[in-house]
Amino acid sequence: MDIRHDDNDRRRRNNNGYRGGGNRKRARDDEDDYHYDPRRRPPQRQRGGDDQPASRRRYEEVPFAKLRRMTLNIAGSAQLPQDEAIELAKVFAENYDDERLRNDYFDIIIQLILEQPVKIPFVAAVIFYGNDAKSEIMADALKRVSSRAQEALNGGLWKEFKLMLRFLACLQARYDGDGVFTLLNQLFDTVVDLQSANENDVVGIELVKIILLTIPYALAYSGSAFESQAKDVLDNTGIVASNMLPMEGLIHSYLPDSEEKPLAYHSVIGLLQQQLTTEAETGWPLVVLPKFDREGLRKQAGEDTMTDAPASHPFPTIEIPSPMNPGSRPLFPESYLSLYGNQDLVTVPDITNIASSLFRDAIVDTIDQLHFNRDAAAKLLIEIDNYWTVGVFAKRSTSFELMREINEEKAHFKPEDVIMDAIFSQIFKLPAPEHKLVFYHSIITSACKIAPTAIAPSLGRAIRAVYKYIDIMDLELVNRFLDWFTHHLSNFEFRWRWTEWLEDLPLSDLHPKKAYILAAIDKEIRLSFAKRIRSTVPEQMHYLIPNRLDEDNSPDFKYDDPSTPYSQEGQALITQLRKKASDEVIQEIINKIHTLAVEQGIADVLVPSTDALVTSICRMGAKSLSHVLSCIERNKDRLLSVANESDAARRQIVASVVEYWKDQPGVAVRIIDILLNYQILAPITVVQWALGDFLGAGEVLAKSWVFEMVSNTMSKVANRNRQIIVARFQKGLPQEQIEMVEATLTKDRESARELFKYIDDQLSGVATGAADTLIERESSGELSAEDGQYVRAWAVRWRTVFQRKAQVEESVVGEQAVDAKIKYLAAQPEPVPIEEDANAAGNGVDVKNSDEIELDI
């Protein structure tokens, strides 16, 4: 049973959106779901009995099963959520004496808060009504949730802290005094301390985000009593929220200098501050947050039975630790991106509307927390309208055209656009997304499978919105988009309306749109094969996929052509290598190449001999990656000795691989990766080849595979450094090991800096037009003025990406970052091991999802 939501949509029975399995299946699932007390379970059904519905409901659902089922499905059924919450509260109150039930039910509540944050207001409503029925319910819930919040705060698990706090805020109406606002003010005091200690502090930024996102929930569920408290908090956060950190200059989705941008840069907290201020001015309508009748349960119970005023509780104590644990994930400022915000028609909330932040935050968290079941996450997204005020969304799967009509009367949001916007915001999150990008690919795939007719048109508009501004989008994001686009199409028969891009085919290959098309075709072929991809594109594009790619043959061995220099030697070499001839025989042929090279006045004779060797290896290993791997393995010592002897020859290794696989650069990229792992190549070899030997006037910067090769190489460097600091942060490391690790770190950190510096220098030459080859080719007319401008623009975009990467690495493995962490760890009382603490706090939700950016201490 993967997904447990009732598909019956109470709000639009006539909607033609997705509707999955009926109640029959669900009823069975719910029984499967039951785990409370196996001893009291109904006798095991025989497998064959599954088809006999009559026998299935013979047993009355025990209270816990009912509580679990209804809670997990809350707001997802035909019932009104308020009625569900009241019923749950009553059942819970009736069975409250059962300790095991009580404990297990609170566990479910905590788990639901963590895993499906869009449901927090509904879960809180259960406890809110529970308080009316039995005040211990709320008292105990506060105890448990606040202790979980405390753990999260101690562990630097910001998202979990935020979610626990949100639950507490939803109960604001039932606290003594100022309730959650007292804590928000204390948190803000901490922000002030953090910010005054370090102007680049990011933990404070994160705390401000949490504070700001808690306020709307506290106000929506407590009436107008706390508006002045909210105003006070907002007055304080204003300065921090509007402050710009240096890092923010590097996380723009679109080039900061471009004139026509679909969306200007906005920091998440800057926007929140503005939106909340606007909301305060209009008396906090908070339209989208679903409201409940606070007297709901009391009205049902009848006034006479409930004469007492509802119990109120002191806000639970949460201690703010000092020093703050910054958490295991590096924190960065966040920018707000919307792909649909720039349409002529409103389908997603405008950035001035608090709804945009509330939707985005809750949806993104739900996606990220449900990473372990993309289908369940996608299903929840498809039904996203269930979890907000009825009527703020248009019916599911309302067409864009129909939206135009509907919105003439009153603005509605299109649920599909809102959820796709949220998913893409994660794919496009800089500097790094929360999970591996492929997770977001898979959730889009799932959503498309569940509700194809609803999702596909939204997706199409997203693709067009990205393509339209692809020339000014951050280059790393373009490559993420390319990766998603091609992977997505590979799941849907490679269907895309290429015809609408045909007009861009005549453009120069250096134009960003043309370059994108070329890269997309290459990536599609990598996941499939040339002939198949040709059959999916219009005929006008066939020339992009030459027939020679269809042949099953390996690429030609250039030495077979007698006009190739050293052709005889090249042929002899491959013959002997195939025979696995002795080193002497091989060396003899190589020496011959050297002799000829000297005669021809070649400075480094190892270059032509390495070309022959590597080209032979590529040819022999052309059949598959395992073939080339075993060829490399067999010739490893030879390659290593060449690599150690001459830098030029070492770069020739890259050159020969790329040359041999010029029609299938994806294969070259993989082989280079293998060679890096064998340390036959060093990162600097690859970078110097790509941005030195191969750079030309800079035309190669338009090729996505070159970007891929350089980024992959730099990721390897970054990952290694991060592994070193993980080793450094280990507890109880003996002094001599500390010294050893630090020496390695110092060395590797320096070489990473040199690499970034080399990249930046090379790119800046092209970006400013000062590079010699660029000047030559432009003045000779070899490169048109237009292409010259494209080349410069590519260099600018490359540069932004690698400057950011350099900065990110500094903030994670730089001296300052490492020192701060060591100091923090040293200040920790023995022996609360951070790692275990973080794990325990995970509570079933993975806190350690390794992705590129993760610093896993």
- Sketch the per residue contact string, 468 through 507, with another protein: x for CB under 8 A, - otherwise: ---------------x---x--xx-x--------------
Nearest to 462, CA basis, from 496, 432, 507: 496
Classify the C-alpha dihedral 661-711-762-654 as positive or negative.
negative
In one-letter notation, the amino acid at residue 34 is Y
Task: Build a one-symbol-per-residue string for 442-471: x at contacts with another protein by CB under 8 A, - elsewhere.
Answer: x--x--------------------------
Total site size for another protein, rule CB under 8 A = 59
Candidate list 95, 111, 258, 277; residue touching another protein; CB under 8 A: 111
For 635-734, where are the alpha helices, taking DSSP H only?
A: 636-645, 647-660, 665-677, 683-688, 704-728
Among 13, 14, 43, 44, which residue interacts with another protein (rule: CB under 8 A)? 44
Question: Which of 730, 850 has the CB closer to another protein?
Answer: 850
Q: Measured on CA atoms in the order 695, 698, 703, 708, is the torsion positive or negative? A: positive
Tell me which stretch binds another protein (CB under 8 A): 279-287, 436-444, 634-642, 755-763.
Answer: 436-444
Q: Which residues contact 56 (CB under 8 A, 6 or more apart)?
A: 27, 28, 31, 45, 49
Is 159 among the residues that bind another protein (CB under 8 A)? no
Looking at the Cβ atoms of 336 and 496, the one nearer to another protein is 496
CA distances from 699 to 16, 514, 695, 773 (A): 50, 13, 7, 11
843 binds another protein (CB under 8 A): yes
Is residue 38 within the footprint of another protein (CB under 8 A)?
Answer: yes
Q: What is the CA radius of gyration of the chain?
A: 31
Q: Kindly tell me which of 244 and 625 has the beta carbon lying closer to another protein.
A: 625
Q: Give me the least distance between CB of 474 and another protein, in Å please.
A: 20
Quick one: which segment of 91-99, 426-434, 527-535, 792-800 binds another protein (CB under 8 A)? 527-535
- Only one of the segments 18-26, 243-251, 432-440, 746-754 lies at the binding site for another protein (rule: CB under 8 A); that segment is 432-440
Q: Cβ(854)–Cβ(328) under 8 Å? A: yes
C-alpha dist (Å) from residue 390 to 8, 171, 615: 15, 21, 66
Phi and psi at residue 646, in whole multiples of 5°?
-145, 125
| Beta pairing partners, 267 | 335
Tokens, residue 657 = 């691989």
Region of 39-47, 87-95, 299-307, 468-476 interacting with another protein (CB under 8 A): 39-47
**Contact string 661-700 vs another protein (x = CB under 8 A):** -----xx--x--x---------------------------
Q: Which is nearer to another protein, 461 or 487 (CB)?
A: 487
Cβ neighbours of 426 (radius 10 Å): 20
User: Per CB under 8 A, does 112 bind another protein?
Assistant: yes
Q: Taking contact as CB under 8 A, which single stretch among the options 132-140, 396-404, 521-529, 766-774 is the one that binds another protein? A: 521-529
Q: What gap in Å lies between CA 272 and CA 832, rounded to an integer? A: 35
Is 438 one of the binding residues for another protein (CB under 8 A)?
A: yes
Binding marks (x or -) toward another protein, 169..188, rule CB under 8 A? --------------------
User: Of 92, 413, 439, 557, which one interacts with another protein (CB under 8 A)?
Assistant: 439
Query: How far apart, in Å, are the Cα atoms of 444 and each of 420, 424, 494, 527?
Result: 8, 9, 15, 18
Minimum separation from the CB atom of position 622 to another protein (A)? 11
By C-beta, is 625 or 770 nearer to another protein? 625
Q: Is there binding between residue 640 and another protein (CB under 8 A)? A: no
Of 641, 705, 268, which Cα lies nearest the Cα of 483?
Answer: 705
Q: Does 4 bind another protein (CB under 8 A)?
A: yes
- Give dist(CA 654, CA 667) in Å, integer: 12
Give 32 or 754: the residue with its C-beta nearer to another protein. Answer: 32
- Name the β-bridge partners of 175: 313
Would you say 480 and 437 are in contact if contact means Cβ atoms under 8 Å apart? yes
Least Cβ distance, residue 625 to another protein (angstroms): 5
At its nearest, how many Å lie between another protein and the CB of residue 834? Answer: 16
Among 115, 385, 476, 611, binds another protein (CB under 8 A): 115
**Which residue, 336 or 440, has its beta carbon nearer to another protein?**
440
CB of 213 to another protein, least distance (A): 22
* Cβ count within 10 A of residue 333: 23
Beta carbon nearer to another protein, 389 or 849 = 849
Q: Which amino acid is at 446?
A: S
Taking CB under 8 A as the rule, does residue 711 contact another protein? no
Q: Which of 215, 240, 250, 437 binds another protein (CB under 8 A)?
A: 437
Question: At its nearest, how many Å lie between another protein and the CB of residue 144?
Answer: 11
Residue from 488, 623, 555 nearest 546 by CA: 555
Q: CA 30, CA 803: separation in Å to the nearest integer?
A: 52
Strand, coil or helix: 229: helix
Mapped onto helix, strand or coil, the DSSP state of residue 429 is coil
Q: Kindly tell me which of 107 and 350 has the beta carbon lying closer to another protein.
A: 107
**Is residue 123 at the binding interface for another protein, with CB under 8 A as the rule?**
no
Name which of 362 and 590 has its Cβ closer to another protein: 362
Quote the least distance from Cβ 445 to another protein, whole Å. 6
Longest CA pairwise span in the chain (Å): 110
660 binds another protein (CB under 8 A): no
The nearest distance, CB 370 to another protein, in angstroms, is 7
Kindly tell me which residue out of 72, 219, 230, 420 binds another protein, with binding defined by CB under 8 A.
72
Q: Give the list of residues 6+ apart from residue 353 with CB closer than 8 angstroms, or none.
A: 275
Q: Is 840 in the site for another protein (CB under 8 A)?
A: yes
* List of E strands, 419-533: none
Tell me the C-alpha distance between 788 and 794, whole Å.
10
CB contact set of 837 (below 8 Å; sequence gap of 6+): 151, 154, 155
Decide whether 478 or 795 has the Cβ nearer to another protein.
Answer: 478
The answer to whether 536 contacts another protein (rule: CB under 8 A) is no
Question: Which DSSP category does 693 fall into?
Answer: I
Taking CB under 8 A as the rule, does residue 436 contact another protein? yes
105: left (phi over 0), alpha (psi -120 to 50) or beta: alpha
Site mask for another protein (CB under 8 A), range 616-635, x = bound: --------xxx---------
Nearest CB to another protein, comparing residues 34 and 175: 34
Choose the stretch contacting another protein; rule: CB under 8 A; options: 29-37, 556-564, 590-598, 630-638: 29-37
Distance from C-alpha of 171 to C-alpha of 174, rounded to nearest angstrom: 6
Tell me which DSSP letter residue 310 carries: P
Query: In one letter, which amino acid is 571?
Result: Q
Q: Is residue 734 within the footprint of another protein (CB under 8 A)?
A: no
Place of tokens 């990220």: 368
Q: How far is the CB of 300 from another protein (least distance, A)?
A: 28
Would you count residue 160 as binding another protein (CB under 8 A)? Answer: no
Residues 6+ apart with CB under 8 A from 337: 253, 263, 424, 425, 428
Site for another protein in 363-382 (CB under 8 A): 370-376
Q: Which is nearer to another protein, 400 or 498 (CB)?
A: 498
Rounded Cα distance between 369 and 363, Å, is 10
Q: Which residues bind another protein (CB under 8 A)?
A: 1-4, 32, 34-35, 38, 41, 44-45, 72, 107-108, 110-112, 115-116, 370-376, 435-439, 441-442, 445, 483, 487, 490-491, 493, 526-529, 624-626, 666-667, 670, 673, 840-845, 848-850
